[in-house]
Structure 1
Amino acid sequence: MTRRATLALALLACAGAAQAARESVLRQVDLPHNYYWRELYVPQLTTGPDFASFTPESDALIYSMGGSLWRQRIDSDTATELTHAPRSYDNQPDVARDGRSAVFTRYDGNAVELWQLDLTTGREHALTSDGAVNLEPRLSPDARHITWVSTQGTGHFNLFIADIDANGLHHARPLLGERKTTLDRYYYSAFDHAINPSWSPDGKTIYYVSNPEIAWGTGDLWSVPVTDPSKRTKVLSEETSWNARPEPNPDGRRLLYTSYHGRQWQQLWLTTPEGAAPLPLTFGDFDRRNARWSPDGKRIAYIDNQPSSGDVGNTALRVVTALGGATTTIQPIHRHYKTPRTRLVLDIVDEHGERTPARVAVIGPDGRAYAPDDAWMHADDGFDPALQSTETHYFHCAPPCALDVPAGSVKLWVQHGFAYAPWRKTVDVSAGHDVSLRAALVPQPLPAAFGDWISADLHIHMNYGGHYRNTPANLARQARAEDLDLAYDLVVNKEERIPDIAAFRTDADPASLPRSLVLHGQEYHTSFWGHLGLLNLGDHFITPDFSAYRHTAMASPYPHNGVIADLAHAQGGLVGYVHPFDTLPDPAHDAVLSNELPADVINGKVDYIEVIGFSDHKATAQVWYRLLNLGFHLPTGAGTDAMANYASLRGPVGLNRVFLDTGGKRDAATAMGALKAGRSFASNGPLLGLLLDDAKPGDTITTGRHHYRVALRSPVAVEHLELVHNGQVVKVFELGSNHQTFDDEGDIDLDGGWLLLRAWNDGADPQVLDIYPYATTNPVWLGDRGRTPSAHDDAAWFADWLTRTIEAATARDDYNTAEEKRATLDYLSQAREAYRAMAGNQTSNEPTRSSR
């Protein structure tokens, strides 16, 4: 694919470029839920090691780290860089048995291609150039063949095989072909995948993972004869979560793989090629993965994320003896780089001159991202190819931060939440000359008259199967770097496991910081009704944590979300609909419409909705406006749905947040009171202030002529700032030359209903790591009339919506009992009739929403 001229980093682009075309990373992969497979399967840029392969003598390793391949002896603390490609990142090395070459993957922001490295001469050459995603290359024992996983031709992960020599690949072909399942799948493609290949010692068999007729999980361990792919055989049924990577030992009698097998964390397990009962080889409350046998069978190398003494679980490379369990950590204390380096030290201070943690992005003269050796490197989940060559990478810095960068022009971007202006600098560094920089952050808060705000991200997952091992203490540090006051860790299942179940508690986590409070709530999962956020649970975690999982023992659509909301409210909790809509629901044309939101709102079950979240903010706002038009005082919250231990995420923590007018108090009770009362605004960047006479969002005033005051403070340029009355724009503000700071006041005539202020852009802005900048206040309510003139049509629309939801619920054949089905359909039908009554009665001023 030919690319237009690109810039190295979002911070170099002009802010607010009209109609910026943000695209998903590796958009050529045709699988749902790319935020799962990209993190759990595709290699990521990490400062620590990620994949390793032994050299033939079993005394050294070639491994990936920081986007390069490195060689290091097991008994040494010195690593030598073998590859370093501009604007690209290398990973997944596999060393030939004769030690002369290695194959690996290279990601350039567009595709992942296979490359070969001559370990004697250092020569590199590409093996593929098809623009696909090519992963997990494995050489046969005689180094004459190669197998790997590719999306070539289909967009799905399939096994390929080819002959290989010094001139490249020959006779490349799919090994198994495509197969479509008969099952309904939610997190996985309708087409089976085949991943995690490895060779048997005699080169006749390939072991791999696949999911024929499996609805949940990555699949089972399989084997296939290379010369007769029709004779594939299941080895072991297992929930493998993308990286089981079955690996035979050198004599072929045992099969090493990774599993969590009824636990919360992945460890190393052993079975046999015949699928004998598996037994664990390692233990611990952290992940071990990407394991490889040494050629002599005496050692196993693997990657883990065991938290260190600093309470941070970065990736690390270990070697353990197969007999005895003695473990060696491969520490690259001394590094021999391919290019000259210098030490860059960054200090960050606030307006008081006090050191302040912040998010930092650093791009070297080679177009690659850099971070301190012990920092967690994170990556955005999308970017505009016209403005960047790859996605933005960043880390959180507790200053001072020191990192090694290549000599030349280095670009830096520092961001500390939304109330500080971004800090940017380009500095030329020379090899061997240390450079110290001081980033002085400049505040740009809203005027005090609009409120005394704290910010909260209502939807974070501390751990969710990612590269890193997070802790409450580190989550608090992440929040502090993002200037986030409240971080809600919503404990939830990742398919069979619930990684953070041990962290759940009903009070604030003792690891919280004075200015960044960590709280633990719950996300209730169902692929049918819509996901719920449950905050401030006062007694216990609600189980089961999911329903309506087809083809499982918890397939029944009961309990529906209304039942779960009642259970949460009984504990004093708040219930919200999270990441609601990627597109505007269409009751007339949607193939299936099962979301339960309208029924739960009219029955008084919902306390907030994430208008700004991991969804399309504009589409969600259109649904929200219709509910407001019916008189439902449903406030907006905001949540990033950040998987805070991912290397690649739609984030960071606090990307989508709600600002709560609490008088500056940071306790959970005051914050939740402000959330439920609507004394707030939600944003992914712009700060908004709205006063109508002396009323703030959440207040109710009389109809008539009012004096408004508005304020905008934004770290990025805003294209549109508008007053919205009953879903219609009634005032467009001309922002002039400054699209980041704006104040205005005037008079406006308003009848009943509601009024809010919103800011938005048409397209993406590279400085906001979201689909586009967006912010909205909650409404100021007008008069005592609960419904707007459009209420008739809005109620009819929701009634039609629920008709489709009833159709979907009726079609399900997996309720446990007839009573479950009857109760569910009755609940939906009663809600639909209430909307029909509202649609047919335009004289009543009050909504029929029941109260708790």
Structure 2
Amino acid sequence: MIRRRNILWSIAAVCSLITSPVAAEPTRVPVLAGVAHPHSYYWREMYMPQLTSGPSAASFSPDGQSLIYTMQGSLWRQKIGDDTAYQLTAGPGYDYQPDWSPDGNYVVFTRQQHNALNLMVFDVQAGSVRALTEGTDVNLEPRFSPDGKQIVYVSSRDSGYLGIYIAGFTGTALAGDRPLVAGRVSDTYRYYYSQADHAVNPSWSPDGKTVYYVSNQEIAWGTGNIWAVAASGEGTPKLVLEEETTWATRPQIDHGGKRMIYSSYSGRQWHQLWIATAEGKYPLPLTFGDFDIWQTRFSPDDTHLVYSSNEAGGLNLIYHTFVGGERQQIKAKNRVYKQPVVPVEISLKDGKGKPLASRVSVLAADGRHYGPDNSRMHGDDFVDAAQADHETHYFHCDQQCTVMVPVGEIELTASHGYDYKLAASTVTVKAARTVELVLAENSLPQKFGQFTSADMHVHMNYGGKYKQTAATMAADARAENLDIIYNLIVNKEERIPDISEFSTDVKQIDGVTIYEGQEYHSSYWGHMGLLHLGDHYLTPDFTSYWHTGLASAYPTNGIIEDLAHKQGAVTGYVHPFDGVPDPAASGKLTHSLPVGVALGKTDYLEVVSFANHEDTAAVWYKFLNLGFRLSAGAGTDAMTNYASLRGPIGLNRMFLDGVQADKPATLKKAIKGGHGFVTNGPLVGLLVNKVKPGGSLALPANGSTVKIQAALRSPVPVEAFELVMNGVVVATFETDADKTSADITLDLPVTKSGWVLVRAVSKTSHPFVQDIFTYATTNPVWLEVEGKPHHAPADAAYFTAWLDRAAEHAGARDDYNHTWEREAVLAEIAAARKVYEHLAEGTAP
């Protein structure tokens, strides 16, 4: 059905305020939001336990003959050298980080339930579980003292700061609980991490007198050093080893008290095991490989180690002979479940019966998510408390997958990108069965374009639980119906995990095209994406890292953009704004997007990104109002090797019109020209007198009435489908009853130059859209009325004030290497400011 509506007013009569009927606040909040650390996708992935199919976090039995470990959110027991594993716990919630008591009678662990983590104890003889802590805090990493009478652990109970606590253990409860190393707020400026000092990774000395741990106490850059403190709490902590290891250190002293083993990426791109003296002296590498090793434990006689490894992509447990290095994988070939389970085969097809790879979520009657034994499970890092008590977990399935689930009702959901409707089914299983999920195609009408989808901001490996390869990343993209991946290689602290992947070649794997690009890091000027570098990776790949040898604010992002353009690259700003910058507010304002736009250096802006889409669009509209043809881009910032993921690859993507995936020239032209739309779900199409987004429409001096055609196709409901003109919502379109489809034709009077676009918005959360809210927008169609240019002096004044703030802060810095660096920085800002001055006056720059 086509709905027709006439707009009877002129754009000149509309006020310059941006308005929208979607007034509700987003309903999604970060998982474990009570912990006082920023960048949840860092600490939660790199430090917190995650739901994974593969085993991790093992603890030896007192005799060293058996292990208890975490697998699929439960605790399992397995004898070393045997291939049968016995499930000890089955929820509710998800169970992690077991530690076996010295007498063998108890296992203490942490359980994630109701968006909190609490300590639990498993009675080995009785097979029962009892809570040791309760409430909404995060309590984790419990470790028994050598005599079994105390437990040391980490808690967020002190204002959300992660600190170390110690308590007596009675067998059924904790007693005399007290802080050992409390969280505190530091005055030290921090680049990535919060002002709160944290203390994590506790372990005991063999005599029980000392607790070793990791803390960033007064450290400006990184997750912290290894420290030691008396278990009695007397005295001051002692620095043992100074090293940055990105949350994975977990030091342990051997039972003889001579050696300390820990994980580190020192001088490498991946975490491996290192060994030092108990005093932290003379560290030496113990293991080697281009993969990660974590969570190591000495056997009771110190002759063996057990640890988690991602060398096969997912997680495996390795039993390692210390002398000689013999390695044995702990495989649970036979599994004895605590409750009845049955296999469910999931078959995925499109509306014509063709098999599809898809993203799948399986929720059982016990309230837990399940996945295939060999899958890489992922979890959303946000949750809507009104809809669920914990985050959605999912996996990518290539046409058919088998999942072991408890007997009872299960809910299945499957998706295949945004050109297909979701498929969902609720079934009751009592025995093995097959469930077929059919995903019907739901594309825009062809007149709006021939689209190719691209995620412009992806990180293949970035310090996560898994190890990703180009082939496995391409398989994930196929499940998400994503055509093109821009893998932006970037540093993570002192390493660049994917640096060996950089290439100027086009990679094509089973229908997915991969380009290696670069994210340039400067939290002072703003992060940038550099796409289609034609020669080499730019180093250093960051600037303005305070307190380091690269502290200077020089080079500016503009200089980096010039270097990238010399290689034929396309440049843009990524995940820009959570809140519209206010030049009149307190605090620094140094983001250099207005400089890059004014000087013609910036090609695109991630309007749909790991930021607030509406706030970013509000700034974008100001540039458009000033006539800058800044294109909207989209990138997920997906760390594809994470288990706790802010969204799957392709969550935020750009649909490019008229391109060939393996032809960089067509892609660069489409990106810079704004030929398409950006989205995290809805598909939106626009034609203005048959002109597509990115195009221009010349109109006579007295203006004209133009024909608007717009369409919406969405896998999830939207609350508003809108026409925006020069930053103003001038029409809200009707949609079908399910709010997922619309076909619009209307007449729009135009008397003044400017631009027009359509957008779709929904603040109500949906588990499929793992973003702060649902959002899509086309790029603008430009309207050029002869002799009547569009002026926006208020917007020009806004950017002038912004640059005044930037110049003030940059000019006051005292960490430039040379005087000419400060002069170059300020000269660039001044040149951009002059452009906005002219625009404010209504004259050409």
| TM, length-normalised to structure 2 | 0.95
Give the secondary-structure state (helix, strand or coil) at the position aligned to 1:783: strand
Q: Given the alignment of the two structures, is residue 92 of structure 1 paired with residue 97 of structure 2, yes or no?
A: yes
Q: CA deviation at 1:381?
A: 1.1
Structure-2 change in CA distance of 1:19 and 1:33 (3 Å): closer
1:264 to 266, 269, 280: 269
- Separation (CA, whole Å) in 2 of partners of 1:761 and 1:179: 39
Give the C-alpha shift of residue 50 in structure 1.
Answer: 2.0
Q: CA deviation at 1:179?
A: 3.8
Q: How does 1:108-127 map to 2 (within 5 A)?
A: 108-127=113-132
Work out which of the residue numbers 593, 600, 605 in structure 1 matches 2:601. 605
- 8 Å CA contact retained: 1:456, 1:485: yes
Aligned to 1:436: 434
> Taking structure 1 as reference, are residues 796 and 587 closer, same or farther at Cα in structure 2, changes over 3 Å only?
same
Aligned mate of 1:53, from 56, 59, 63? 59
Alignment deviations for residues 237-257 of structure 1 (CA, whole Å, 9 cap, x no partner): 111210201101110100000
The corresponding residue for 1:621 is 617
Give the one of 653, 659, 675 matched to 1:657.
653
Matched, 1:701 2:697: yes
Distance in structure 2 (CA, Å) of the matches to 1:157 and 1:700: 55
Match of 2:522 among 526, 536, 548: 526
Q: Deviations over 1:168-209 (max 9, x none)?
A: 111111112344333210211212111111000000001111
* Counterpart secondary structure, 1:157: strand
2:208 corresponds to 1:207: no
Measured against aligned partners, the alpha-carbon deviations of 1:341-396 in whole angstroms (never above 9, x if no partner) come to 11111111223422211100001111100110110000111111111111110000
Q: Which residue of 1 aligns with 2:635?
A: 639
Q: Judging changes above 3 Å, is the alpha-carbon distance between structure 1 residues 790 and 135 closer, same or farther for their aligned structure 2 residues?
A: farther
1:279 corresponds, among 278, 284, 292, to 284
- Which residue pairs with 1:158 in the alignment? 163
| CA positional deviation for 1:787 | 8.8
Distance in 1, matches of 2:566 and 2:786, equals: 31
Q: 1:729 aligns to what?
A: 729
The answer as to 2:253 corresponding to 1:248 is yes
Tell me if 1:220 matches 2:225.
Answer: yes
> Counterpart of 2:42?
36
Q: Distance in 2 between matches of 1:838 and 1:57?
A: 78
**Cα distance in 2 between the residues matched to 1:741 and 1:564:** 42
Q: Does the CA contact (< 8 Å) of 2:632 and 2:674 recur in 1?
A: yes
Which SS does the other structure have where 1:160 is aligned?
strand
Match of 1:399 in 2: 399
Aligned amino acid, residue 235 of structure 1: V
The amino acid that maps onto 1:569 is: H
- How far 1:18 moved relative to its partner? 6.9
Q: Contact between 1:344 and 1:402, CA under 8 Å: does it hold in 2?
A: yes
Secondary structure, in 3 states, of the residue corresponding to 1:202? Answer: coil
AA aligned opposite 1:690? L
Letter in 2 for 1:31: H
**Distance between the aligned counterparts of 1:478 and 1:386, measured in 2?**
29
Query: 1 CA distance for matches of 2:257 and 2:444?
Result: 67
The offset of 1:786, in angstroms, is 10
Query: Which residue is 1:687 aligned to?
Result: 683
State the match for 2:198 in structure 1.
193
Matches within 5 A, 1:667-686: 667-686=663-682
Partner of 1:174: 179
Conserved? CA contact 1:485–1:666, under 8 Å: no
Match of 1:812 in 2: 813
Partner Cα separation in structure 1 for residue 615 and residue 301 of structure 2? 58
Residues 581 and 620 of structure 1 are in contact (CA less than 8 Å); yes or no, is this contact kept in structure 2? yes
1:591-646 deviation digits (Å, cap 9, x = unpaired): 11110000111011101000000000000000000000110011101000000000
Which whole-Å CA distance do the structure 1 matches of 2:781 and 2:373 have between them?
49
Let me know the Cα RMSD of the aligned residues. 1.5
Unaligned runs of 5+ in 1: 1-15, 308-312
C-alpha offsets along residues 219-246 of structure 1, whole Å, 9 cap, x if unaligned? 1111111124433211111112102011
1:576 Cα offset (Å)? 0.6
Q: How many angstroms does 1:295 deviate by? A: 0.7
Sort the Cα spacing of 1:693 and 1:756 in 2 relative to 1 into closer, same or farther, 3 A. same
Q: Distance in 2 between matches of 1:808 and 1:478?
A: 43
Task: Quote the sequence identity (%).
Answer: 49
Aligned ranges for residues 544-563 of structure 1 at < 5 Å? 544-563=540-559
Letter in 2 for 1:742: A
Q: What pairs with 1:564-575 in structure 2 (closer than 5 Å)? A: 564-575=560-571
Residue from 146, 151, 154 that aligns with 1:141 = 146
Asked if the contact 1:100/1:118 (under 8 Å) is kept, the reply is yes
Q: Is the 8 A contact 1:529 1:594 kept in 2?
A: yes
Amino acid in the other structure paired with 2:111: R
Give the corresponding residue for 1:9: none
Offset of residue 732 of structure 1? 1.5
Q: Aligned pair in 2 of structure 1 residues 457, 351: CA closer, same or farther (>3 Å)?
A: same
Deviation readout 1:4-31 (Å, 9 max, x if unpaired): xxxxxxxxxxxx9975621110010011
Shift in Å at residue 112 of structure 1?
A: 0.4
* Aligned match of 2:410: 410
Looking at structure 1, the residues matched to 249 and 233 of structure 2 have their Cα atoms a distance apart, in angstroms, of 24
Deviations 1:459-499, CA, capped at 9 Å, x for gaps:
00000000000001111111111000001110000011100
**Equivalent residue for 2:10?**
none
Q: Which has the higher strand share?
A: 2
Deviation for aligned residue 1:667: 3.3
Q: Is residue 485 of structure 1 aligned with residue 486 of structure 2?
A: no
Structure 1 CA distance, aligned partners of 2:788 and 2:304?
Answer: 71
After alignment, is 22-31 or 781-790 more displaced? Answer: 781-790
- Does structure 1 conserve the Cα–Cα contact (< 8 Å) formed by 2:513 and 2:661? no
- Worse overlay, 50-59 or 220-229: 220-229
Paired with 1:565 and 1:105, the residues of 2 have a C-alpha distance of: 47
Runs of 4+ in 1 over 4 A off after TM superposition: 16-20, 663-666, 784-790
What SS does the corresponding residue of 2:197 show, helix, strand or coil? coil
Q: Which residue type is aligned with residue 778 of structure 2? A: T
3-state SS of the aligned residue for 1:230?
Answer: coil
1:273, distance to aligned residue in structure 2 (A): 1.7
Partner Cα separation in structure 2 for residue 835 and residue 42 of structure 1: 47
- Specify the alignment match of 1:471 in structure 2: 469
SS in 1 for 2:835: helix
What's the secondary structure of 1:30's corresponding residue? coil
Retained in 1: the 8 A contact 2:36–2:196? no
| Cα deviation 1:642-666 (Å, max 9, x = unaligned) | 0000000111000000000025655
Over residues 46-82 of structure 1, what are the superposed CA-to-partner deviations in whole Å (9 max), with x where a residue is unaligned? 0011211000110110000100000001111100000
Structure 1 match to 2:626: 630
Write out per-residue CA displacement over residues 87-132 of structure 1, whole angstroms, 9 at most, x where no aligned residue.
Answer: x100000001111101000001321000111111112111111321
Residue identity in the other structure for 1:341 = V
Structure 2 vs 1, CA of residues 17 and 620 (structure 1 numbering), >3 Å: closer, same or farther? closer
- Structure 1 SS opposite 2:235: helix
Cα pair 1:630 1:786 within 8 Å, conserved? no
**Aligned equivalent of 1:454:** 452
